């Protein structure tokens, strides 16, 4: 009996020791010292109880000591959809420090507000994921994680970082996005192995010590209200990607030109009125985003960027492009939407690698003939300009797949439009077209054709040659009839004909075996062809606004399986 009493007292003493607050002495006991040595299995029981409380399955956290001692990865991420119904973890037990072999600890999407000091005992840890918790501070013991390579503290409540962060000498990736940081400690400069630093969504200014991060390759500072960069930014000789999107920059330091390895620079959504000449020194730059600023001109030095592949200048104040634009021989993407351009220089045709050209919402009235020299062009967006004609050279764009000419003042299309053999999407909505050239039937790969809101009275019979067409949108025109060849469009799924002047439909419309949506509202139809019942895949039919329209009994029965909008 005495032996059992002593064993019970020893177990109680062990528990008291385990739950004593850090730095607090264990409660005194009269039991002999030899009897109160902690039971080595007690921490396993406590860790198991914690795991059961938060429904952590045994496959993630084993329940025996040997497996726990050898555990290398513990994934308690609550972000994936499979885990969202599991209870959020609100605390980590001190016993987490017993997992001496742990290398990866994922705790994203929980409700942790503090970390136990014992986190510092995880000496083999190289990844610690804490994104999406409620943390506002880190224990000093975080500095003991000497093998840590990746630390994710994004989407928490940090307003400051401890100086101890500088002790993580092996850290390569540090995520601090979406916190409340207003400054970084000078010790950030001690992270000599840091390669990626993500600081988006804070309220930061950068310390001069940022320039000490000699291995840094990626630095993101989106939406931080930054108005200036320290000149030390130029010391980041390995920097390849700098993201400053959504700040308050009006100028950039000349030191920006020292970033000799920089490949991507995002300055979109700032207040830049000018760029420093030194930007022309970025000889490795491939992607330059300057959209949503106040730029009206570019420095001549910018056109020395011989590696530039993407130049985004949308939503600025450009009224013209300089002829030097033609020097950017590697350019593949040029975005100039929402400016005040009235013309394009002939040198635009020198951009032999250009694949994407966006010129929407400008004041263009014509296109230069040299546009036809863009032999690699795949997408040309010209929506919302003042174009009245297209040059015949448009037909030379043999790789063009997408052409958007919506909301212009076109009255006709050149016959050369039919030479665009790769064209898949053609949008001509909101123009003043009265007819289409017969050559439109040569567009053998066309899938989407939108000609709504024009002045079309007829369609060429060659329209029936568009064998790949899936969407034919002809609403708000002046069509009185459709050619019988419309029935050849075997792949059409959507046919919009509302707001025309149709009095009848050809019987061949019943051949459109894949048609799902047919809009006929606001025409002058009195009857539908008997063949309408052959449209076996039809799901929606709009007929409202045809006051004289009547159906046969057979059609009425057929339409019971269709959503009809009368």
Would you say 241 and 263 are in contact if contact means Cβ atoms under 8 Å apart? yes
Identify which of 326, 332, 329, 297 has the alpha carbon closest to the alpha carbon of residue 313.
297
Does 31 score more than 80 pLDDT?
no
**Residue 39: which pLDDT band, with cuts at 50, 70 and 90?**
low
**Residue 13: which pLDDT band, with cuts at 50, 70 and 90?**
very low
**Residue 59: which pLDDT band, with cuts at 50, 70 and 90?**
very high
For position 84, what pLDDT does the model report? 67
| One-character DSSP codes across 294-343 | --S---GGGGG-TT--EEE--SS--S---GGGGG-TT--EEE--SS----
For position 387, what pLDDT does the model report? 98
Does 34 score more than 90 pLDDT?
no
Does 79 score more than 90 pLDDT?
no
**Residue 325 main-chain phi, psi, to 5 deg:** -55, -30
Does 30 score more than 60 pLDDT?
no
For position 86, what pLDDT does the model report? 87
For position 80, what pLDDT does the model report? 74
Does 46 score more than 60 pLDDT?
yes
For position 28, what pLDDT does the model report? 40
Q: Supply the pTM of this predicted model.
A: 0.89
Burial class (CB in 10 A: 0-12, 13-18, 19+), 63: middle
Average pLDDT over residues 394-415: 98
The 3-class secondary structure across 64-121, one letter per residue, is CHHHHHCCCEEECCCCCHHHCCCCCCCCCCHHHHHCCCCCEEECCCCCCCCCCHHHHH
Read off the pLDDT of residues 264-285 as tens digits, 9 standing for 90 and up. 999 999 999 999 999 999 999 9
CA-to-CA distance for 296 and 321, rounded, in angstroms?
Answer: 10
State how beta strands 218-220 and 127-129 pair.
unpaired
Does 190 score more than 60 pLDDT?
yes
**Residue 9: which pLDDT band, with cuts at 50, 70 and 90?**
very low
Does 8 score more than 50 pLDDT?
no
Within 8 A by CB and 6+ apart from 463, the residues are 436, 440, 441, 483, 485, 486, 489
CA-to-CA distance for 369 and 122, rounded, in angstroms?
Answer: 68
Other Cβ atoms less than 10 A from the Cβ of 458: the count is 15
**Residue 2: which pLDDT band, with cuts at 50, 70 and 90?**
very low
Average pLDDT of the residues of the chain: 93
Would you say 54 and 89 are in contact if contact means Cβ atoms under 8 Å apart? yes
Would you say 410 and 385 are in contact if contact means Cβ atoms under 8 Å apart? no
Query: Which is more confident, 348 or 39?
Result: 348
**Residue 5: which pLDDT band, with cuts at 50, 70 and 90?**
very low
E strand intervals along 336-488: 356-358, 379-381, 402-404, 425-427, 448-450, 471-473
How many residues make up the chain in this entry? 566
Identify which of 499, 539, 548 has the alpha carbon closest to the alpha carbon of residue 517.
539
Read off the pLDDT of residues 143-173 as tens digits, 9 standing for 90 and up. 999 999 999 999 999 999 999 999 999 999 9
pLDDT exceeding 70 applies to what percent of the chain?
Answer: 92
For position 216, what pLDDT does the model report? 98
For position 41, what pLDDT does the model report? 82
Query: Which is more confident, 26 or 414?
Result: 414
CA-to-CA distance for 334 and 468, rounded, in angstroms?
Answer: 30
Query: Which is more confident, 113 or 9?
Result: 113
**Residue 207: which pLDDT band, with cuts at 50, 70 and 90?**
very high
Identify which of 255, 257, 251, 209 has the alpha carbon closest to the alpha carbon of residue 226.
251
Query: Which is more confident, 345 or 566?
Result: 345
Identify which of 32, 40, 42, 26 has the alpha carbon closest to the alpha carbon of residue 9.
32
Does 359 score more than 50 pLDDT?
yes
Average pLDDT over residues 322-345: 98
**Residue 553 main-chain phi, psi, to 5 deg:** -55, -40
Read off the pLDDT of residues 412-421 as tens digits, 9 standing for 90 and up. 999 999 999 9
Per DSSP, what are the bridge partners of residue 175? 152, 198
Average pLDDT over residues 175-197: 97
Query: Which is more confident, 20 or 342?
Result: 342
């Amino acid at each position: 009996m005495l032996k059992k009493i002593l064993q019970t007292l020893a177990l109680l003493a062990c528990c008291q020791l385990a739950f004593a607050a850090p730095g607090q002495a264990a409660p005194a006991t009269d039991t002999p010292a030899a009897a109160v040595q902690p039971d080595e299995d007690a921490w396993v029981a406590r860790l198991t109880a914690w795991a059961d409380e938060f429904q952590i399955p045994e496959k993630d956290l084993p329940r025996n000591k040997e497996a726990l001692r050898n555990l290398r990865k513990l994934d308690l991420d609550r972000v994936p959809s499979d885990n969202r119904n599991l209870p959020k973890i609100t605390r980590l037990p001190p016993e987490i420090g017993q997992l001496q072999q742990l290398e990866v600890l994922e705790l994203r999407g929980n409700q942790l507000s503090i970390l136990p000091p014992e986190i510092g005992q995880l000496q083999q840890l190289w990844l610690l994921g804490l994104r999406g918790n409620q943390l506002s501070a880190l224990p000093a013991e975080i500095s003991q994680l000497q093998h840590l390579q990746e630390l994710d503290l994004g989407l928490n409540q940090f307003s400051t970082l401890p100086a101890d962060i500088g002790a993580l000498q092996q850290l390569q990736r540090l995520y601090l996005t979406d916190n409340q940081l207003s400054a970084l400690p000078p010790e950030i400069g001690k992270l000599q192995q840091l390669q990626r630093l993500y600081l988006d969504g804070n309220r930061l200014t950068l310390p001069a010590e940022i320039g000490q991060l000699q291995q840094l390759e990626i630095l993101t500072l989106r939406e931080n209200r930054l108005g200036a960069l320290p000149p030390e930014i130029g010391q980041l000789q390995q920097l390849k990607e700098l993201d400053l999107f959504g700040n308050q920059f009006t100028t950039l330091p000349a030191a920006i030109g020292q970033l000799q390895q920089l490949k991507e620079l995002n300055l979109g959504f700032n207040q830049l009125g000018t760029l420093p000449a030194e930007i022309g020194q970025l000889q490795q730059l491939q992607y330059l985003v300057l959209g949503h600023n106040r730029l009206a001109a570019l420095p001549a030095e910018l056109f020395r960027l011989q590696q530039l592949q993407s130049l985004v200048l949308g939503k600025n104040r450009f009224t013209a492009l300089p002829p030097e634009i033609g020097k950017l021989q590697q350019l593949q993407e040029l975005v100039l939407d929402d400016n005040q351009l009235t013309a394009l220089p002939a040198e635009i045709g020198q951009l032999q690698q250009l694949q994407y050209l966006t010129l929407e919402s400008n004041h263009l009235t014509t296109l230069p003939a040299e546009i036809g020299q863009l032999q690699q062009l795949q997408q040309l967006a010209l929506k919302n300009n003042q174009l009245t004609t297209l040059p015949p050279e448009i037909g030379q764009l043999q790789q063009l797949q997408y052409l958007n000419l919506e909301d212009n003042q076109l009255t006709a299309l050149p016959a050369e439009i039919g030479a665009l053999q790769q064209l898949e999407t053609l949008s001509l909505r909101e123009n003043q077209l009265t007819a289409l050239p017969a050559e439109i039937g040569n567009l053998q790969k066309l899938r989407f054709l939108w000609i709504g809101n024009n002045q079309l009275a007829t369609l060429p019979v060659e329209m029936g040659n568009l064998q790949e067409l899936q969407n034919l949108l002809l609403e708000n025109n002046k069509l009185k009839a459709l050619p019988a060849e419309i029935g050849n469009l075997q792949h059409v799924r959507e046919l919009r004909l509302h707001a025309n002047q149709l009095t009848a439909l050809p019987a061949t419309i019943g051949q459109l075996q894949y048609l799902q949506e047919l809009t006929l509202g606001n025409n002058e139809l009195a009857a539908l062809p008997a063949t309408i019942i052959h449209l076996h895949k039809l799901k929606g039919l709009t007929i409202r606004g045809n006051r004289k329209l009547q159906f046969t009994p057979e059609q009425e029965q057929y339409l019971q399986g269709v959503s009809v909008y009368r």
